[in-house]
């Protein structure tokens, strides 16, 4: 018994030793970059800041919720104390935070040379390593080239534009007997219906579309949760949901491929439907998936991941932008009136119930100003994650190799030295102010600028075309503001009181 007790005591000591060793290792990892880099030469010059607590650093302060049209207390405090570029410790890594437009531009333009996309590992676990959002090097280049090609092919296609408009009208028609709507839910319904049709050729009534939406909502909840991969947690459920979405998309790809093979094998078939479908594919009137099947540069997993990325960008980001626009317009009656006049003028040039086209979209100049101002003032994307691939000298300080770098777009968008009356929603600023990539980066920049940004703007513009002509609205709760967590959302979903202006939609 004594021997057993001694052996048991030995393993307890070993276990305690391992735990203590791991803690010491983590603490050393926290302070090692500070001791190694900040005590010698140019690294100390103008690189001020603090590392905060061991392990967590200043992550909790950085993630403290705040209005999205404000930099937040963390950035305000640190910029006032240390300047627009400072050092800290975030997400378990030593980090340089930049609120400087020149440095932000430098970082974004040197993607793959001096800096590299570097999101926290849990993000990779849920998005997958071949997601365009986290992929680097040749993989990212191949995915981005395909995305740009698809957007170029799609954005002005009548079929795509008509789908957007039909979906907008359907959503607004459902408001006729509802004096109150939760707009964020309505916006997500609109953007999902548009993107699932464009990417996969599905209508929202189909069972497979419903299945994808259910899994996608689980996926989204996990994407913004604590990254704890234990069964039952939102993160773990999201990982499984992504796996189910992947399986569903793979099944759709296989079915589509088999159908295409059948069309090719039945050249002598006189069936009118087959001929019509073949002509439709041949003339390019097809969804993203149809085109993806012909792309030989992407693997099967990359194609599946591409579909998921398209759903993510076309669903959440676009719907949030719509909510920002509607929220800010509710508090800017002058802008709303000018927007309404612009769309009434466009409608007056068309036949009743005639669809909008690409030329109509290009005429929506003030609409573009409103969208740009909502992007600047609301800040759908707050910052991006990068990592220094080597020691980088910028001005009179050094960014150490291996350190994370966070270009913060919010701070630049709300900088009064760059934007007059930066704390006001003022769409007219874009009539004279240039949209330089140093002062305005709502969709990122450089080689990682969002390839679908134009599609998002088209969707918002077409929805607004019918909204402003057919409804007046006011916010139910003035306290329901867009909040950054750092992801942005409306706390109560943006509840609107709506009133139809006339019985029928144009």
Q: Give the 3-state secondary structure of 350-362.
A: CCCCCCCCHHHHH
With 0-12 / 13-18 / 19 or more C-beta atoms within 10 angstroms meaning exposed / middle / buried, residue 156 is middle
User: To which residue do tokens 């920002």 refer?
Assistant: 324
Laid out side by side, the sheet with 66-67 consists of: 66-67, 482-484, 488-490
Q: How far is CA 78 from CA 133, 236, 390, 407, 409, in A?
A: 28, 35, 25, 14, 16
Residue 117 marked in a binding site? no
With 0-12 / 13-18 / 19 or more C-beta atoms within 10 angstroms meaning exposed / middle / buried, residue 419 is buried
User: To which residue do tokens 């990892």 refer?
Assistant: 29
| CB-CB contact of 171 with 152 (8 Å) | no
Distance from the Cα of residue 472 to its chain's centroid? 29
Nearest to 55 by CA among 87, 23, 10: 23
Residue 332 Ramachandran class (φ > 0 left, ψ -120 to 50 alpha, else beta): beta
| CB-CB contact of 387 with 405 (8 Å) | yes
Provide the total of helices (H) and of strands (E) in the chain, helices listed first.
Answer: 19, 13
Q: Going by C-beta distance under 8 Å and a sequence separation of 6 or more, which residues neighbour residue 253?
A: 289, 292, 293, 300, 303, 304
d(CA 161, CA 427): 25
Question: CA angle, corner 442, sides to 407 and 167, nearest 5?
Answer: 145
Nearest to 324 by CA among 460, 196, 217, 477: 460
Helix (H, G, I), strand (E, B) or coil at 365: helix
| CB-CB contact of 355 with 165 (8 Å) | yes
Q: What tokens does 256 get?
A: 């589509």
d(CA 216, CA 214): 5
Which residues contribute to the annotated binding site? 450
Sequence ranges of the binding site for heme? 450
């Amino acid at each position: 018994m004594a021997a057993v007790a001694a052996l048991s005591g030995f393993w307890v000591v070993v276990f305690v030793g391992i735990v203590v060793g791991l803690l010491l290792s983590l603490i050393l990892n926290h302070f090692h970059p500070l001791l190694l880099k900040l005590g010698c030469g140019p690294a100390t010059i103008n690189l001020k800041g603090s590392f905060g607590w061991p392990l967590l650093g200043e992550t909790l302060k950085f993630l403290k919720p705040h209005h999205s049209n404000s930099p937040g207390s963390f950035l305000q405090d640190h910029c006032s104390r240390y300047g627009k570029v400072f050092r800290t410790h975030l997400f378990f890594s030593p980090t340089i935070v930049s609120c400087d437009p020149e440095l932000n531009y430098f970082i974004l333009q040197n993607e793959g040379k001096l800096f590299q996309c570097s999101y926290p590992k849990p993000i990779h676990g849920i998005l997958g390593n071949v997601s365009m959002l986290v992929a680097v090097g040749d993989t990212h280049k191949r995915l981005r080239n395909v995305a740009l090609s698809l957007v170029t092919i799609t954005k002005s296609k009548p079929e795509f534009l008509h789908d957007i408009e039909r979906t907008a009208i359907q959503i607004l028609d459902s408001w006729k007997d509802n004096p109150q709507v939760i707009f964020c839910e309505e916006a997500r319904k609109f953007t999902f219906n548009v993107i699932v049709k464009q990417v996969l050729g599905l209508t929202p009534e189909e069972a497979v579309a419903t299945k994808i939406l259910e899994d996608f909502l689980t996926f989204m909840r996990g994407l913004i949760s604590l990254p704890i991969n234990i069964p039952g947690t939102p993160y773990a459920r999201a990982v499984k949901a992504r796996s189910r979405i992947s399986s569903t998309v793979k099944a759709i790809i296989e079915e589509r491929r088999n159908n295409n093979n059948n069309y090719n094998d039945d050249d002598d078939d006189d069936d009118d439907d087959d001929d019509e479908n073949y002509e439709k594919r041949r003339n390019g009137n097809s969804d993203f998936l149809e085109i993806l099947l012909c792309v030989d540069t992407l693997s099967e997993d990359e194609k599946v991941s591409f579909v998921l990325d398209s759903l993510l960008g076309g669903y959440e980001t676009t719907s949030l932008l719509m909510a920002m626009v509607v929220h800010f317009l509710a508090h800017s009656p002058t802008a709303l009136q000018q927007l309404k006049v612009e769309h009434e003028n466009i409608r007056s040039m068309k036949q009743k119930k005639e669809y909008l086209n690409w030329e109509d979209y290009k005429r929506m100049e003030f609409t573009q100003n409103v969208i740009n101002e909502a992007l600047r003032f609301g800040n759908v994307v707050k910052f991006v994650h990068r990592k220094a691939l080597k020691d980088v000298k910028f001005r009179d300080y050094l960014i150490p190799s291996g350190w994370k770098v966070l270009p913060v777009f919010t701070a630049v968008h709300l900088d009064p030295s760059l934007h007059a009356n930066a704390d006001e929603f003022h769409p007219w600023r874009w009539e004279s102010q240039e949209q330089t990539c140093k002062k305005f980066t709502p969709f990122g920049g450089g080689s990682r600028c969002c390839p679908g940004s134009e599609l998002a703007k088209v969707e918002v513009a077409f929805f607004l075309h019918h909204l402003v002509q057919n409804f007046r609205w006011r916010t139910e709760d003035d306290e329901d503001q867009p909040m950054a967590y750092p992801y942005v959302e409306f706390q109560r979903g943006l509840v609107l009181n709506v009133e139809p202006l006339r019985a029928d939609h144009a």
